[in-house]
Structure 1
Amino acid sequence: MREVIQVFAVCLTLLAAPLSARAAPVKNGFDLAGALVPAEEILAGGPPRDGIPAIDQPVFLPARAPGDLKLQDRVLGVLVNGVAKAYPLAILNWHEIVNDHFGKTPVTVTYCPLCGTGMAFLAEVAGQAMKFGVSGLLYNSDVLLYDRRTESLWSQIDRRAISGPHQGVRLVSLPLEHTSWLDWRQRHPDTLVLSRDTGQVRDYNRDPYAGYENNRETYFPVRFRAQGYHPKERVLGLEIDGQFKAYPFAELAKTDGTVGDRVGGRAIVVRFDAQHANATAQDADGKLLAGVVGFWFAWYAFHPETLVYKARTQEAAKGAR
């Protein structure tokens, strides 16, 4: 009888316990217990884990070879260890992640079509090379990567692991340019370009997100809703010494293409090429900085405290007015 009473008491305790204590939230096979962001704001994008297949064995062609690339096509350009590579968005729209190497340096190139953000990372944590996959999950409409070693989930724009053994660790961003194939090839004639020989059957001539960039709506909700510009306005976002600042292309287009500024107490120069819709930032020594080019709504969703460059006043103001 005593044993029955004890079992009954345990059952009552379990029934009274909060649901979160009894069952950790799991989505797409990822344990979200203790995540750094609210688990209910981590949303399934539709495809399952690896339903959008990362490219693990990228094949590259010399610049003169790819006849399927038009001069105006958009590419992400990366220069590491003196090696230049271009990653066409027509391919990245279908894969989102390329696990690559520049010599002995492991580099992961990522693209989130929903946020328009291309970012490159040093694919190394605590001295160990990492490979990433597409989790099928989103936070603030932005892709969540996962590393295959520990299955930690990583926010692309935030660069931070939000769950798993690496929770709280931030990846090192590498400079990347979001520009036209013509522009990148002219400035880097020896560039390699990612081939459509990806090992996957995809229609790279079709844009699965056609029309999305011009639409004011987003497919998924975000925590902070941006004002002042079209949600899909392109911006160059910078983070320097804990300060965030956005440079909307609409503002940069009002300048002569060169803007001197200070962010986080450091002098920088922002350069804008309207012809190729390319914005980059350099430090006082002319070194290219690792910024983020993407949609205004996405930058603001992660950085609502951002400063915003205004061409008319040459001043930054908190939030867009």
Structure 2
Amino acid sequence: MTPRILVYGSLAIIAFWVLYAKGISKNGFDLDDALIPAKEIRSGGPPRDGIPALIDPELIAVSEAEYLKDDDRVLAVVISGEARAYPIRILDQHEIVNDGIGKQRFAVSYCPLCGTGVVFASDAGETSLIFGVSGLLYNSDVLMYDRNTESLWSQLMGQAISGRLKGVKLPLLPVFHTSWSEWQSRYPDTKVLSLDTGYMRNYSESAYAGYEKSRQLYFKVNNKAPKDYHPKEWVLGVEVDGVFKAYPFKELTENS
């Protein structure tokens, strides 16, 4: 019996060594050197690119955007005098749009779980990065990845948290989060995303209907909102010299 025990013991050691040597990996991304704890990076359900990012999508004029309602929310930018709008109802289904105006390449990112809309200049040195959806989350916020180096990026941190570009930060571009009626009244010549994205999706309703008002959180977060606030209370976030503050819409509305 002794030799059998030794064999089993040896196999266990080998198996442990193989697992250790492989390190920590999720959705095919190496997290051994991540800037954030790997145990706090969670799968959102879909695999890598299970939520397909858009690349240079078709844009249409205001007169053609009959699918949009006045109160539909959009993320919007103005670059080199050209205005573009990206409806939330489409971003719900894709989360990232890789686009460009003139020589400026940029990535429009939106996380339906926490309502964050961020636009990054996507040039890293002489390379224009193309971003996809990793299928991973940190603090219930989307982790993007660039297809050039397969580095993982935190949307809220605006920084690569693992991979070859770990530590690199991308410049933020000004972005508006407003209603379609407000945006088109300010910029009547704006271009807006077409429903012809190349994917079969139902853009007529939100894929996360009801979640914004629900007190339920699908995924764990490190910090919870004070009990006086809804866990999904909208806030304006401000960062000055490394100091961060959040201003709840509830307070801004009451004191406006």
TM-score, length basis structure 2: 0.91
How many Å separate the matches in 2 of 1:58 and 1:234? 29
In the alignment, which residue of structure 1 is the partner of 2:136?
137
1:120: which partner in 2? 119
Within 2, Cα distance between the matches of 1:45 and 1:205? 23
Matched, 1:244 2:244: yes
The answer for the alignment partner of 2:100 in structure 1 is 101
1:97 aligned partner, one-letter code: I
For structure 1, the 5+ residue unaligned runs are: 1-7, 257-321
2:253 is the counterpart of 1:253: yes
Residue identity in the other structure for 2:91: L
Task: Tell me which amino acid in the other structure corresponds to 2:235.
Answer: V
Q: What amino acid is aligned across from residue 222 of structure 1 in structure 2?
A: V
CA displacement at 1:56 relative to structure 2 = 0.8
Deviations 1:8-51 (A, max 9, x none): 9xx69x65978874331111111111111111111111111101
1:82-118 CA-to-partner distances (Å, cap 9, x unmatched) read 1110000110000000000011100100000001011
Give the direction of change, closer, same or farther, for the CA distance of 1:73–1:16 in structure 2 (3 Å limit): closer
Other-structure match for 1:79: 78
| Aligned residue type for 1:132 | F
Q: How many Å separate the matches in 2 of 1:137 and 1:48?
A: 8
Deviates more, 1:247-256 or 1:141-150: 247-256
Separation in 2, partners of 1:19, 1:252: 55
- 2:4 aligns with none
Q: Deviations over 1:257-301 (max 9, x none)?
A: xxxxxxxxxxxxxxxxxxxxxxxxxxxxxxxxxxxxxxxxxxxxx
Where in structure 2 are the equivalents of 1:255-294 lying within 5 Å? 255-256=255-256
What secondary structure, in the 3-state scheme, does the structure 2 residue paired with 1:212 have? Answer: coil
2:56 and 2:100 in contact (8 A); partners too: no
Which residue does 2:60 correspond to in 1? Answer: 61
Q: How far 1:170 sits from its partner (Å)?
A: 1.1
Residue 27 (1) aligns with residue 26 (2): yes
Superposed structure 1 runs of 4+ greater than 3 Å apart: 14-21
Aligned residue for 1:253, secondary structure, equals helix
Q: Which amino acid aligns with 1:213?
A: E
SS of 2:192's partner is strand
* Corresponding residue for residue 48 of structure 1: 47
Gaps of 5+ in 2: 1-6
* Count of residues paired in the alignment: 247
C-alpha separation in 1, matches of 2:180 and 2:18: 52
Secondary structure class of the residue paired with 2:55: coil
Separation in 2 of the partners of 1:149 and 1:83? Answer: 27
Deviations 1:218-242 (A, max 9, x none): 1000112221411111111111211
For normalisation by structure 1, the TM-score amounts to 0.73
